[in-house]
Amino acid sequence: MLLIHLVFIIGGILLLRISKKIIRARTDKKGLYFKRIEKRTGSMWALADLDPLVFVPYLQIVNIRIIESNWFGPRLELETIQGKEILTILNVLSRKEKEQICQTVKEFGI
C-alpha cells in the first residue's frame, strides 16, 4: 500500500514538472486554439493534456472575457456563434496570461 502511495506522489511530481511544457492554448492570425475538457471520469481528466487543440476561427468568436469568482478565481469565458463555454483547462494559467489571450483575440477578431 505504501508503494502505491509513493508511485502516485512521484507521478504527481513528474506531472507538475512537465506541465510547464504542455501547450493548453495558443493564438495566431487565423484563430484561437485551446484544449477542451469534455465531461469525463476522474481518471480521464489526467489525460486531457494529450487531447488535440480545438480550433475556433476569429470570425466565430462573439466575445471573450475573464469572469471573476471567489471560489474558482479568474476564468476565461468564450462566447461563439454556437454558444458560451468556460475554458476550464485554462484555469491553471496566470491572470496575466489569460488577459494576454483576451487581448490577442480582441485585437485580431472582435
Give 27-39 pLDDT, tens digit per residue. Answer: 888 899 988 877 6
**pLDDT score of 22 more than 80:** no
pTM: 0.71
- Fold of the domain built from segment(s) 23-108: PH-domain like (2.30.29)
> Domain ranges in the chain?
23-108
CA distance linking residue 6 with residue 3, whole number of Å: 5
Three-state secondary structure readout of 30-72: CEEEECCCCCCCHHHHCCHHHCCCEEEEHHHEEEEEEECCCCC
CB neighbours (10 Å) of residue 86? 14
The predicted pLDDT at position 46 comes to 65
CA distance linking residue 76 with residue 66, whole number of Å: 5
The predicted pLDDT at position 79 comes to 92
Q: Which helix (H) or strand (E) holds 97?
A: helix 95-108
Give 67-101 pLDDT, tens digit per residue. Answer: 988 888 889 999 999 999 888 878 778 889 889 98
The percent of residues in the chain predicted with pLDDT above 70, rounded, is 83
